[in-house]
Chain A
Amino acid sequence: MDVVHNEKIEQGSVIQGLTAGVPIAFGYMPVAITFGLLAGSTGLTAVEAVLMSMLVFAGAAQYMAISMIAVSAGALEIVAATFIVNLRHLLMSASIHERTAPSSKKGRAFFSFFLTDEVFAVSSVADAPVKPGYILGVGVSAYGSWVGFTGIGYFTGELLPAVLQESMGIALYALFIALLVPSIKQAGRSILLLALTAGLSNWLYLQLLDTGWALMAASVTSLLLYELFIGKGEAHAE
């Protein structure tokens, strides 16, 4: 096979991914700005706050870490809590494994670093097989925004108009809805039922469990119920 031709395809899918990741970049803006601001008020230096965003790249875990630092929890405790919150990505990593075009282990190991909830969601509603370059592009868009706005938030978070900051809290939810609705339109009521079951069971689990566990338990519960009652006769849901 012509190697040059292949690389061109890769490049094209990276650019497509970068574009598809822009709504995430937009949605991360208020979350990262607020993180930077809170990290500063918790006593982290700017270098520490930005480094955490650069190396960890996990919103919920980072928020949890600074709230634990604020009550002077130990480092090991914080690392353990981070592990538990982010275990949910096991499920997403396994799911995207099913939808990715064949690719080298190295390539997979590289783009998996960027696999946040949002990057997973945007990449996996794309038509399978999803190119690794595409996932990488989505991830880099999201990552740039997360790291950049952490720094900006650290120094200027208080300058953002309160009304705008408040309305931007809806951004990620609007993104999730925008990702889900076309699949519901396309695949019909069954996907809507699956999502509703997941949402409702998440709400129930949240009475007992922390966010990461509740999300995972709700996903598994709704998938099982769906498979038992609806999905048996159905073809592979795309």
Chain B
Amino acid sequence: MLNEAIFWMIIGMAVVTYIPRMLPLTILSTEGWPEWLRRMLGRVPYAVLGALIFPGILYAMDSLLLSVAGGAAAVVLAWRGAPLLVVVAGTILLLTALQFMIG
């Protein structure tokens, strides 16, 4: 059930994926780094989230309109303080309902 070439390819993929995830966490020492650089590292999550959301969200659904509706629903739910899971499930349910109404 396992082709040898595919097996070694998977091992190779695993190694090159693991190294960038592991190296900074284990060998980095930021103690002596300038404050502005450490500040920037602390802000990485918000920059990454912004880039993960846009423009990818526009292509999340077959129709642009539905994608935007989904994004808007998630913003409203999250803004009102709904837990993560409720935001995710609520957005999916709303889009499913919208598709039935349109389709």
Contacts and interface: CB of A to CB of B under 8 A. Distances in A.
A90 B27 CA distance: 12
A236 B30 CA distance: 15
Contacts of A112: 18, 21-22, 25-26
Contacts of B85: 22-23, 26
A170 B92 contact: yes
A134 interface: no
Secondary structure at chain A's binding surface: helix, strand, loop or mixed?
A: helix
A22 B83 CA distance: 11
B50 A197 contact: yes
Contact of B24 (A93, A117, A167, A177): A93
B23 interface: yes
Contacts of B8: 75
A13 interface: no
Interface in B49-97: 49-57, 60-62, 67, 70-71, 73-75, 77-79, 81-82, 84-85, 87-89, 91-93, 95-96
* Interface range for A: 35 or more
A237 B46 contact: yes
A164 B39 CA distance: 41
B7 to A, nearest CB: 8
A145 interface: no
A35 to B, nearest CB: 14
B30 A163 contact: no
B68 to A, nearest CB: 10
Given A97-B30, A173-B53, A231 B87 contact: no
Contacts of B95: 166-167, 170
Nearest to A108: B25
A176 B39 contact: no
Contacts of A55: 10-11, 13-14
B10 A174 contact: no
A6 to B, nearest CB: 21
Contacts of A26: 85, 88-89
Contacts of A194: 43, 46-47, 50
Please provide the 10 A-B residue pairs with the shortest distance between their CB atoms, ordered closest to farther: A199-B54, A195-B50, A198-B50, A95-B44, A181-B78, A83-B16, A79-B12, A178-B87, A167-B95, A202-B51
Interface of A: 20, 22-23, 26-27, 44-48, 51-52, 55-58, 61-62, 65, 75-76, 78-80, 82-83, 86-100, 105, 108-109, 112-113, 115, 117, 120-122, 124-125, 163-164, 166-171, 173-183, 185, 191, 194-203, 206, 214-215, 218-219, 222-224, 226-227, 231-232, 234, 236-238
18 contacts: A27-B88, A48-B1, A48-B3, A83-B20, A91-B44, A93-B23, A93-B28, A97-B25, A98-B30, A170-B91, A173-B57, A174-B91, A176-B52, A177-B87, A195-B46, A197-B50, A198-B54, A202-B55
